[in-house]
Chain A
């Protein structure tokens, strides 16, 4: 399993994931500083907010692409069959892959957070919460990307599915608002829409609550929100992992 983990990390090097994300993040941070400096007041705060929000999105999208392309290539090159021919269970294989992706995402997010902590004077506890919740958000996205890549095989479909999952999960706050909103504001029968949204809210995680860029600036986190994030991750991560186990167990080569 450790070998698989290191193999994934090396894949990151080979695919120039670290270099690519480093370049994109550097450009995003430069744009954030530029945008912040155009503000009438609160230039530094604005730069931090833009930097945090853009880098969070860039890392998530980067990891989705990396995971989906990596697994799809492993299928195409018969790497998976090769690895499974050794004395390793399918669960260990999935855990090894996930571990590799998790460590890769930690390697990307940690220096970014440290850089922001060193450059700007901010609320460090807020930044720590931002770091943890961004990490958890990334773990959920990675788990889903692994699952979709295992199920769909085709990298393009897996990428689209993962991007859709990420976007809908980030919009979930609005959907949840809409469930009550339709009944309150309009007399039209929105029962079906409300029910559809309710079903969506059962299936998808509340990623809209994760990594608020206001935490490191205003320190306005809410303990109950942090608890929701923690429990959501504790429930949703195993859910995706067990689903991956189940799907991969049934797969025939």
Chain B
């Protein structure tokens, strides 16, 4: 025992040095075996459940909403530029947007992100998720959300090139009774159906608006009336060329 103490006293610095070298080598070997274990980097992670959200909010849902919107807004920031939108999982984007709507549906943040940012995807089939979200968001209150229905109409027509879908949103848009909504929100179904080739429906929509104005149901400015009369005359010309009687539109 005494010899061991003396031995340790004399050689302890060497023992610890070699122990240090040994542990360093072990650390390098450990690194070699674990090097491939990495976090899978996902542009859009799965949306958390309501339960997790409740816990994360610590009682302040609004603060969590804004924090998560920042997360969704900056998704794809890989600290060396941004990832192309066609690489995003839009099903997950939709899940996140729905989740955020449950936290706060009054805010313009999420529909803005959907309409102005996420709708720019190069993968057009993903737009259906954006349109579904905008539809659900706007349906909560059409009068307050008519602008997002217009955005949905625009995206369906211009980006997705799906006139049936565009007409669906345009018809929904025309249902709004918001005082600040311009008249073209009511005319939108006519424009879309005209584009679709359904002149009869376009004629009926605009004629209905003119009738409303003439019966005093709705106040429409002279300029708008002139435009609508011009629109009607154009449609009538089109129908005449097709040898179709406009009266038949009402049958």
Flag B39-72 by CB within 8 Å of A: 1 or 0 each.
0000000000001001101111111001001100
Q: Which residues of chain B come closer than 8 Å to A1, judged between CB atoms?
A: none
Determine if B107 and A42 form an interchain contact, defined as CB atoms under 8 angstroms apart. yes
Q: Which residues of chain B come closer than 8 Å to A41, judged between CB atoms?
A: 108-109, 112
Taking the closest CB of chain A, its distance from the CB of B92, in whole angstroms, is 19
Interchain pairs with CB closer than 8 A, number: 72
The verdict on A212 contacting B70 (CB below 8 Å), with A40-B116, A41-B109 known, is no
Q: Which residues of chain B come closer than 8 Å to A207, judged between CB atoms?
A: 59
Interface of A is mostly: helix
Taking the closest CB of chain A, its distance from the CB of B232, in whole angstroms, is 38
State how many residues of chain A have any CB contact under 8 Å with chain B: 33
Determine if B112 and A212 form an interchain contact, defined as CB atoms under 8 angstroms apart. no
Tell me if A26 is interfacial: C-beta within 8 Å of chain B.
Answer: no
Instruction: Find the residue from B60, B62, B106 having the highest chain A CB count within 10 A.
Output: B62
Determine if B109 and A170 form an interchain contact, defined as CB atoms under 8 angstroms apart. no
The verdict on A174 contacting B54 (CB below 8 Å), with A208-B59, A214-B61 known, is yes
Tell me if A53 is interfacial: C-beta within 8 Å of chain B.
Answer: yes
Bound: A235/B63 CA distance, A: 28
The verdict on A177 contacting B108 (CB below 8 Å), with A49-B63, A207-B59 known, is no
Determine if B73 and A40 form an interchain contact, defined as CB atoms under 8 angstroms apart. yes
Determine if A171 and B58 form an interchain contact, defined as CB atoms under 8 angstroms apart. yes
Sampled A-B contacts (10; CB under 8 Å): A38-B73, A39-B69, A41-B109, A46-B69, A53-B60, A56-B60, A207-B59, A213-B62, A213-B63, A214-B104
Chain B residues within CB distance 8 Å of chain A = 51, 54-55, 57-63, 66, 69-70, 73-74, 104, 106-109, 112-113, 116-117
